[in-house]
């Protein structure tokens, strides 16, 4: 982050604008809108600008710039096309610790003006850090089109009732629940439709009947976070993630997905620590119950789908036992995500009529799987957690009748920017990866469908790039 966006209350403060032309007018208008008193200094000042300064309760100085104009100002904007004046102004302002912006000259700015979407009192600022103001403005127009025009009215009404609600519901969590419900209900609809009095009446009666106990009830969301690419989150996953007070996550959940949580949510890591010990499953279950019993909305984020090799079943057992409300949100499981991003169809009318998800996880030092049933014509096998056992998997499949040249692929960090696909055969794959650095997590796909892979040249070039 190169700049910190802050919202600055300028009402009654003096803002200096150096320059008297069109650029100066644009900036002066914005500053006046924020309630600043304008001081304009330039040898020539347009009548419009003079009128604007006067209306703001400020003053105009029809003269060349001089440092004394900085006396008592909170911020200064340089809007002249004179390089010397701009440089001097920047130097003078910095010496006096006054924030300075020289239009279109980032090196001479200690602050920049973001593009804004103004639905007063709602304000959205967009900045490209000076890299591309055009891109920032383009984004602004996109955001403008999706925001209801009466958003400001809704914010205004919610503001009016804030302190009343705070008296009725002392718990912050309960209030957040209340407002979130309000945003999805008729009060918001009416306000956004311009029926402000009706919206106020409804809000009043909702506050009168608000039930603190019900609103402070904890809940657990068991949410599939998908295999890594945040675009693969479901809408519901995103919604709940942004609602949660606490987010419990593990190693498989990508940083970009975590970024989607509410800024003030507690993020609790429950995966393997540096010493490689994951928090025991029982502790995770207890933690979920513990937070929910405090009245919190708890999001348990799990890589892929929570019910596929995710121990999601055990977690909800405990939650249900404790009488806590919960919901389970499916996610894109690694097999589906990796296969799609690698260009390997898991089933295919010509090659595979079924697909089987298998765990290669070792228990007591070996993989125990019903090998004879795994070697079935027309079936794709997907091994989760199979990297360590790959030699054993390969050996057993061949020993139980699979041809050694059956196509097989290993996909590492599937769906992320670091995805790697290594294609070989069930016989060769253990050797193929022997002298390569392979990053977890990895998935192994075995079957004729892997042979289809070279046909999808787009995926192939992607894989090679990686
Ligand atoms: N619930 C998860 C699976 C958890 S088991 C799901 O539905 O995907 C953990 C295993 O999932 C890893 O060992 C690996 O085999 C697989 N996996 C998860 N994410 C992956 C990814 N991005 N790329 C490759 N394999 C992945």
**Per residue in 37-48, pLDDT tens?**
999 999 999 999
Mean pLDDT, range 46-62, rounded to an integer? 96
Show the CA angle centred on residue 439, arms to residues 437 and 440, nearest 5°: 145
- Residue 466 is predicted with a pLDDT of 45
- Residue 17 is predicted with a pLDDT of 98
Q: Is the CB of 342 under 6 A from ligand 1?
A: no
Name which residue sits closest to atom 19 of ligand 1, judged by CA: 227
The counts of H helices and E strands in the chain are 19, 17
Give dist(CA 397, CA 404) in Å, integer: 9
Mutate to test the pocket of ligand 1, among 339, 441, 463 (most ligand atoms within 8 A of CB): 441
- Residue 194 is predicted with a pLDDT of 94
* Superfamily the domain 335-465 falls into: Tetrapyrrole methylase, C-terminal domain (3.30.950.10)
Which of helix, strand or coil describes residue 325? strand
Q: Is the CB of 413 under 6 A from ligand 1?
A: yes
Mean pLDDT, range 262-271, rounded to an integer? 91
Q: What angle separates helix 457-465 from helix 334-342, to the nearest 10 degrees?
A: 100
Mutate to test the pocket of ligand 1, among 443, 444, 445, 446 (most ligand atoms within 8 A of CB): 443
User: Does residue 310 contact residue 187 with C-beta atoms inside 8 Å?
Assistant: no
Give every CB contact of residue 46 below 8 A, 6+ residues apart in sequence.
20, 21, 25
Mean pLDDT, range 44-67, rounded to an integer? 96
Give every CB contact of residue 398 below 8 A, 6+ residues apart in sequence.
404, 426, 427
Q: What is the dihedral of CA 262, 238, 287, 311, to 10 degrees?
A: -160
272 among known catalytic residues: yes
DSSP string, 268-318: EE-S--TTSPPPPHHHHHHHHHHHHHTT-EEEEEESB-TTSSS-HHHHHHH
* CA neighbor of 381 nearest in space, from 391, 366, 393: 393
CA atoms within 13 A on the CB side of 23: 14
- Residue 396 is predicted with a pLDDT of 97
- pLDDT for 78-118, tens place per residue? 999 999 999 999 999 999 999 999 999 989 999 999 999 99
Q: How many residues does the chain have?
A: 466
- Residue 395 is predicted with a pLDDT of 97
Give every CB contact of residue 156 below 8 A, 6+ residues apart in sequence.
121
Give the position, in ligand 1's atom list, of the atom nearest the Cα of 416. Answer: 22
Q: Which of 272, 317, 372, 405 is catalytic?
A: 272
CA of 419 to the centre of ligand 1 (A): 13
250 among known catalytic residues: yes
CA of 37 to the centre of ligand 1 (A): 59
**Per-residue confidence at 462, pLDDT binned at 50, 70, 90?**
low
- pLDDT for 285-303, tens place per residue? 999 999 999 889 999 999 9
Q: Residue for token digits 């070039």?
A: 461
Domain regions of the chain by residue span? 14-113, 151-215, 219-332, 335-465
Quote the strand ranges of 68-171, DSSP E.
Answer: 75-78, 100-102, 115-119, 122-126
Mean pLDDT, range 210-225, rounded to an integer? 90
Identify the CATH number of the domain defined by range 219-332.
Answer: 3.40.1010.10
**Per-residue confidence at 216, pLDDT binned at 50, 70, 90?**
confident
pLDDT at 459 over 70: no
**pTM score of the predicted model:** 0.74
Which two structure tokens, joined as six digits, stand for 50?
């003079």
Q: Within 10 Å of residue 27's Cβ, how many Cβ atoms?
A: 20
User: Does residue 226 contact residue 329 with C-beta atoms inside 8 Å?
Assistant: no
Average pLDDT value for the chain: 92
pLDDT at 458 over 60: no
Which two structure tokens, joined as six digits, stand for 163?
């302190």
- Residue 92 is predicted with a pLDDT of 98
CA of 444 to the centre of ligand 1 (A): 10
* CA neighbor of 382 nearest in space, from 437, 309, 436: 309
Q: Is the CB of 252 under 6 A from ligand 1?
A: yes
Q: Give me the percent of the chain exceeding a pLDDT of 90.
A: 79
- Residue 205 is predicted with a pLDDT of 95
Give the position, in ligand 1's atom list, of the atom nearest the Cα of 385. Answer: 13
- Residue 455 is predicted with a pLDDT of 59
Identify the CATH number of the domain defined by range 14-113.
Answer: 3.40.50.720
The architecture that CATH gives domain 151-215 is Orthogonal Bundle (1.10)
Mean pLDDT, range 265-286, rounded to an integer? 78
- pLDDT for 311-355, tens place per residue? 888 889 989 999 999 999 999 999 999 999 999 999 999 999 999
pLDDT at 380 over 90: yes
Give dist(CA 178, CA 290) in Å, integer: 23
């Amino acid at each position: 982050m190169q700049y910190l966006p802050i919202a600055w209350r300028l009402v009654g403060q003096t803002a200096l604008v150096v320059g008297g032309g069109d650029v100066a007018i644009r900036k002066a208008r914005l500053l006046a809108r924020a309630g600043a008193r304008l001081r304009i200094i330039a040898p020539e000042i347009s009548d419009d600008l003079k009128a604007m300064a006067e209306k703001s309760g400020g003053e105009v100085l029809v003269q060349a710039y001089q440092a004394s104009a900085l006396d008592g100002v909170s911020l200064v904007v340089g809007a002249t096309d004179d390089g010397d004046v701009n440089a001097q102004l920047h130097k003078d302002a910095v010496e006096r610790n006054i924030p300075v912006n020289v239009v279109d000259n980032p090196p001479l700015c200690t602050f920049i003006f973001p593009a804004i979407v103004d639905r007063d009192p709602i304000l959205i600022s967009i900045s490209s850090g000076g890299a591309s103001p055009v891109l920032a403005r383009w984004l602004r127009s996109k955001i403008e089109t999706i925001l209801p025009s009466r958003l400001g009215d809704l914010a205004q009404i919610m503001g009016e009732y804030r302190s009343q609600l705070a008296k009725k519901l002392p718990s912050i969590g309960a209030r957040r629940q209340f407002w979130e419900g309000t945003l999805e209900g008729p009060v918001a609809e009416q306000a956004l439709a311009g029926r402000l009095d009706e919206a106020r009446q409804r809000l009043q009666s909702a506050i009168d009947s608000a039930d603190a106990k019900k609103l402070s009830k904890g809940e657990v969301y068991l949410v599939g976070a998908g295999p890594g690419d945040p675009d693969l989150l479901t809408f519901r996953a995103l919604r709940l993630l942004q609602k949660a007070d606490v987010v419990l996550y593990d190693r498989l959940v990508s940083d970009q997905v975590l970024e989607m949580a509410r800024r003030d949510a507690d993020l609790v890591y429950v995966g393997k620590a540096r010493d490689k010990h994951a928090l025991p499953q029982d502790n995770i279950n207890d933690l979920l119950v513990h937070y929910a019993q405090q009245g919190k909305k708890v999001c348990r984020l799990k890589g892929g789908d929570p019910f596929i090799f995710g121990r999601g079943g055990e977690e909800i057992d405990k939650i249900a036992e404790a009488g806590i409300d919960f919901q389970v949100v499916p996610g894109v499981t690694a097999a589906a995500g990796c296969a799609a991003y690698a260009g390997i169809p898991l089933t295919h009318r010509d090659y595979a009529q079924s697909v089987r998800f298998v765990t290669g996880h070792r228990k007591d030092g070996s993989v125990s799987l019903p090998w004879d049933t795994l070697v079935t014509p027309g079936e794709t096998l997907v091994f989760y957690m199979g990297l360590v056992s790959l030699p054993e998997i390969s050996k057993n499949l061949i020993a139980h009748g699979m041809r050694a040249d059956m196509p097989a692929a290993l996909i590492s960090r599937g769906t992320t920017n670091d995805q790697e696909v290594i294609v070989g055969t069930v016989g060769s794959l253990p050797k193929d990866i022997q002298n390569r650095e392979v990053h977890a997590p990895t998935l192994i796909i075995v079957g004729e469908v892997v042979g289809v892979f070279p046909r999808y040249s787009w995926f192939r070039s992607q894989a090679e790039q990686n």
